[in-house]
Structure 1
Amino acid sequence: MSTPDRDQRQRFLFEHSDIRGEILSLESSYQTTLSKANYPPAIARLLGEFLAGACLLSGTLKFEGSISLQASGRGSLRLIMAECSHHQNIRAIAQTRPDLLATSLDEANAEEAPGLKTLLGANATLAVTINPERGERYQGIIPIESDSLSQCLESYFRQSEQLATGIWLSANGQRAAGLLIQALPEGVQSTDAREEHWRHLCHLASTLSAQEQLELSHNTILHRLFHEQSLRLFTPAEMSFSCTCSSARTLEALASFGKEELQAMLAETNPVEVTCQFCHHHYHFTRADIESAFKSTTATMH
């Protein structure tokens, strides 16, 4: 069996067609993300899928910035979010309602963990947010109508981008993997030939099992699926865990609470401790730190 790739995303093109692809494997970056909190296996797997999805979508961007996937609902899983930047840095977080989650997991089939829609509950939504370093922020929101994140993302592309997109995601708590193929709007092929080729490639990709996706190398997977196709492979990009929090950013966010609320915090504890939800780094700010930041924020507003 071929050795799986680790923490790499690789772009490829189907020659003489209007279809591109991305293939991804995460290992140490995924495990580092999970090490920041004690997630149940079902949530850890979903986080892996969200990370893989964010990485695949980030690879389709043509500008510098970041993209995040965030789902929220009123069920046992309150919020789950993953982010990937153009530097290939990733981070993720999940927030649960522990009592409800325990019930959901107890009621689940022993061989199959509850899916995304089940955990999030009714009226859950998925937000895809693009944050360019220059230009305006964009966000698309769709209702979550499937337990499969892959199907939700495919729906997002149909509704928001109007691009035919196939996405396959897998995670097992140790590794996460993803495969994306997408029809481009250039129109090299005739409409009939294009649609037939697209259906054929989706059929081939759908034969990939989760075990194969998690255990085989990118080259082996692409050869098994598309050995009759002519592929152009690009240099892989290395993915890694990295949090964008900093002392300055955290202090700026703290200063935005308002003077009265800050005074109440300081009356209760000095210094004030703030913990990043993503990397769990602890920041400590004295009264002087907070007052200086508040004055700076107020001056900027005026």
Structure 2
Amino acid sequence: MNDKTLPSRDRAQRFLFEETDIRGEIVQLDATYRDILAIHQYPPGVSSLLGEFMAAAVLLATTLKFEGKLILQARSERQIPLLMVECDSQLQVRGIARGAQEATADNFEQLLGEGQLAITIDPFSGQRYQGIVPLQHSLAASLENYFEQSEQLGTQFWLSASEDSAAGMLLQQLPAQLVTDAAERRAHWEHATTLANTLKDEELLTLAAPEIAHRLYHEDPLRLFEPLPVTFHCSCSRERTLNALASIQTAEIESLLEELGTITMDCEFCNQQYKFVREDLDGFLGDSDPVVH
């Protein structure tokens, strides 16, 4: 395998245990993480937590077998009212922490404790699905609780972020194919997770994925797949912003146009500005005089 095919460590890499039904995934984000942080001036604790959410969203998105996006969203009454990350099936990521500019904490409980975590799967075609679980003492624990309730397959997460990089690892049991004996499956799972628990945050953040897999499982036959690139990309557009304007009452739009001459809308995710004049809005304003309802 030639790691030089990708210009940075912004990638997700899958591995499979050859002799048992367990898969793994490692994601490491450098430029992607820094690109998102550069848009907003978040406090250090918020930035780190956003990095963990980004890594987790990519790990979850790699399990999807359709074209669409996955949205990982946390709401709480603590210092971060809303934290949201989207990752699509091309591993394009964007994220925000709303209302968190004044946050001072650097731990999960004070930043997001006693809230809810929603995982939304939004395919480009087909039905949208959402699962909600309470936030626990960490994002990893909250996600593990979600999988325990919904998938009933062993799933564990290891997540970390520093000032300039974020990373995560996932291990997940697969349906019984290679090993069908329940006791043997439990033993294999305990073996894999026990070794993974020896992984230090610094190793997860700095070592290449193949080296992490080798350090943890050099005595286990593994199949390592080609890495997939992860990038920051905002899906906003002028057309989508115009569609959002169409949901606002006509009288309110008329009032804004009379007062300002133009309507400017900012994308929260990337700070892109979209400006609209009356001619841009004729499609849903009509040509007649405004009528106030």
Q: TM-score, normalised by structure 1?
A: 0.89
**Superimposed CA distance per residue, residues 187-210 of structure 1 (whole angstroms, 9 cap, x where no aligned partner):** 431111001100110010010010
Return the match for 2:89 from 86, 91, 95: 86
In the alignment, what sits opposite 1:170?
A: 160
Return the match for 2:44 from 41, 45, 52: 41
In the alignment, what sits opposite 2:283?
A: 292
Aligned AA (1:186): A
Q: 1:97 to 1:5 in 2, by over 3 A?
A: closer
Structure 2 Cα separation of the partners of residues 217 and 10 of structure 1: 10
In the alignment, what sits opposite 1:161?
A: 151
In the alignment, what sits opposite 1:298?
A: none
In the alignment, what sits opposite 1:262?
A: 253
Local SS of the residue matching 2:132: strand
Q: Which moved more, 1:45-54 or 1:3-12?
A: 3-12
**Superimposed CA distance per residue, residues 263-290 of structure 1 (whole angstroms, 9 cap, x where no aligned partner):** 2322332210100000100100011212
Structure 2 Cα separation of the partners of residues 294 and 186 of structure 1: 58
Pair 1:9-2:1 in alignment: no
Structure 2 Cα separation of the partners of residues 27 and 98 of structure 1: 22
Structure 2 Cα separation of the partners of residues 195 and 31 of structure 1: 39
1:291 deviates by 2.7
In the alignment, what sits opposite 2:54?
A: 51
Aligned AA (1:194): R
Return the match for 2:198 from 203, 207, 218: 207
Q: TM-score, normalised by structure 2?
A: 0.92
Q: 1:176 to 1:14 in 2, by over 3 A?
A: same
1:262 deviates by 1.6
Structure 2 Cα separation of the partners of residues 134 and 20 of structure 1: 27
Structure 1 Cα separation of the partners of residues 100 and 164 of structure 2: 24
Q: 1:280 to 1:293 in 2, by over 3 A?
A: farther
- Identity across the alignment (%): 45
Q: Number of residue pairs matched?
A: 281
RMSD: 1.8
Structure 2 gaps of 5+ residues are 287-293
Aligned AA (1:155): N
1:5 deviates by 6.1
Return the match for 2:98 from 95, 112, 118: 95
Question: In the TM superposition, what are the counterparts of 1:1-302 in structure 2 within 5 Å?
Answer: 6-98=9-101, 101-102=103-104, 105=105, 113-115=106-108, 117-122=109-114, 124-146=115-137, 148-189=138-179, 190-294=181-285
Structure 1 gaps of 5+ residues are 106-112, 296-302
Local SS of the residue matching 1:35: helix
Structure 1 Cα separation of the partners of residues 8 and 158 of structure 2: 17
Structure 2 Cα separation of the partners of residues 205 and 28 of structure 1: 26
1:185 deviates by 1.5
1:167/1:179 contact within 8 Å kept: yes
Q: 1:225 to 1:282 in 2, by over 3 A?
A: same
Deviating runs (4+, > 4 A) in structure 1? none
1:163 deviates by 1.8
